[in-house]
Chain A
């Protein structure tokens, strides 16, 4: 058995009568390399570890963590969590997960090739990325080219019988660009993600970073009005992450979801089918177990626009009289699990992005959005975000445009989806991307 799981087990074995105890223990390593103008600018190499302990007694929850696995501190963490437990408000639904019989689907989340990759090879990847990017266009400068990787293992054990342990590693490269032309500067970025450094597509990352920065040079402000937008896959993935808040079981239980009373209703265009599937190894966020140690599973959320299911942690499930869907999420040992989508996928349509654009008389291709965190309110559904991209005229891409906003409501945007692309992209996010056509969105420009 893993050392971390044994450690977690030793802590939960100390549970007293009437007490539930959970221990989450993790340990990881990190390497990050930043290259600038052909030289290593920053090189970070580090290890970290920590523990989070949750205690539940009489419906009250206490939690404590420490950024170390030092034996002298671990007992203090349990004592702190026990101290904290006396101050909460009793909640009949508070509790840890219990084993639900769903088998863990083994995933390949660890790649030995990453462990064997030499430091020199990692530096070379960042240097290659900078060089390829600079070669892409004479107007391009590189602000930074990065290589990062990380590997870690985590274990969770509870006095209610949960035992889970896993490890994973991954690596990525990313590059930030500046494009200068006639006194104007635009920015761009590109990235590639994987578990095997040799398989990272450096050339695509470089090409994306060049394209993103150069395609907006000379951009003007569009005029205001209602129009059709085509979301680029990267933008669609960000849109999906906003949608995820509306199917969150905890938000539903607490009355904060716009769809709280809409299970079974048609809430989106029939073209929209969304699943949350952390068991798909292609997803960047795929994982065998959720934040409470239950097996993850494939959950259909919207089927042909009909709202099928909310995602649940054990807490939100108990509150709503249902079962956990394996959707407890936790951000590491410093916090307790919440509830949320883990790996959303929008099921692709059958048309290419070129065909989608050809089908739009007049509209806007949205390539970047800015301020999703400040202009979108998933509780009211109000949606407003800064954007840039290309105008679409008579089914063809036209001049670049920037410094405008697109606005609607989440409810309307889901219903106004007019076409779904076939260009599925796996991104370093909790959602996949593909091109999406949405009608009747307000553009505010000049």
Chain B
């Protein structure tokens, strides 16, 4: 587009972020103190963001980050340095800093022959978001604002945002690996505030994917906005959530966060390796209801957590973590897999070139069961139906976790009845996995999420069919 000419030039995918010869000399410098492994991770990331609030498009912004992180492993020690300077001298200075941080001796010269792997496209992009006029994006925000406000006179405030990013990464390491990827993501979110006799309530909806602007071919932002508004309006007549333990039915596509928190983090090999997971040493054991097959899948086309390669250069994979309730495998990064002498699983990820990679999820989901969602609700005499979950948090060592209910209803006599105000649910991961007693046939993926671990955020997806947990503690105030 004419409005951002430099952007088109910089994003030329045939243009290597760092030339092969430079990578070789940087790796040689990184190995100069006798280290056994060295890696260069280079990144060029462009973002655009638009925010609407209070009826106005308040701001249009764009940003660029470009740099490289260099990792040197020597025995049990990892040295790391990063730089925004991608010239050969800049990279070599960072390589020396990383090498000296991991130093134990001198190594002489080791040359690395880099073999470039073919780029595998997991999530093809039809329309790059940076080719869409900003005016078009602005107009979508305004339409979302109008749609939410038209949903009812009690809607008193609306905010909406759209963000897109185009990230090119390159990984080269001393094993001879050389791989690149391009990750294009786009998201749209709307939140609404409704005001009534009971005070104010909020509704929030978002969509996103590792995909181009074609995301909006099948997703209408006005419909998204109406759903956010309706959620806020419904909650105006919500009563306080109950307090205590009871059956909880979780709608398809919103409960993936349950598995992300209840067991996903506990299946990350770094936490397992340090004995900081309740699932350590339990491969081959029945850790969940036999209904549950849990998969982590970075190859899921278009999904928010999809990647062509992970941030250590390994191709993404579909990994079965739990099969029919039996723990089959953990998720791995390069260092842990290397230590165990086993294949990596494509789960080494990092927030940016300024961060070290670690074991992370991609898209984590539970496969379909056999029940219809209606049957699951009808089979529940008294409980809570959660139509939308919010964020969560887990203590992987004890397995105790919480997550928020953004939209929930009472179930009475097998029927969904009154809406409930917000609250947290609390449970113990291993216990909840065993307590899933009904599993639906209506699998759906959920909204885009950002997973935080050790201060780093990465995009993740999750999904599941409608399901019932026999007993969870609801953190409301009603008796």
Contact surface of A with B, Cβ cutoff 8 Å: 36-37, 39-49, 61-68, 70, 73, 76, 80, 83-85, 87-91, 94, 141, 143-144, 178, 184-187, 221, 224, 253-256, 258, 334, 336, 370-371, 373-375, 377, 379-382, 384-386, 388, 402-409, 442-446
Contacts and interface: CB of A to CB of B under 8 A. Distances in A.
A415 to B, nearest CB: 15
Contacts of A91: 56, 58
B193 A379 contact: yes
A83 B50 CA distance: 13
A45 B93 CA distance: 12
Contact of B84 (A48, A94, A380): A48
A87 B50 contact: yes
Contacts of B424: 371, 374-375, 384-386, 405, 407
Contact of A89 (B58, B62, B75): B58
Interface string B50-86: 1011111111111111110000000111111111110
A46 B477 CA distance: 48
B473 A370 contact: no
A45 B101 contact: yes
Nearest to A77: B64
A382 B65 contact: no
A47 B274 CA distance: 30
A370 B422 contact: no
Given A403-B473, A405-B473, A445-B244, 14 more contacts: A45-B98, A49-B84, A70-B84, A91-B56, A141-B275, A374-B403, A380-B199, A380-B202, A384-B475, A403-B428, A407-B423, A444-B473, A446-B244, A446-B245
Nearest 9 A/B pairs, CB to CB: A405-B475, A374-B404, A375-B424, A371-B402, A386-B402, A384-B423, A43-B101, A89-B56, A67-B65
Contacts of A46: 80-83, 97, 354
B428 A67 contact: no
B251 to A, nearest CB: 17
A276 B95 CA distance: 44
A403 B245 CA distance: 11
11 contacts: A44-B80, A44-B81, A64-B62, A65-B63, A89-B58, A253-B54, A255-B157, A377-B202, A386-B400, A442-B477, A446-B245
Interface in B237-291: 241, 243-245, 274-276, 278
B405 to A, nearest CB: 8
Contact of B60 (A39, A45, A76, A87): A87
B476 A407 contact: yes
A67 B84 contact: yes
A338 to B, nearest CB: 11
A65 to B, nearest CB: 4
A143 B200 CA distance: 43
Contact of B395 (A37, A187, A406, A409): A187
A385 B67 CA distance: 39
Contact of B83 (A47, A184, A385): A47
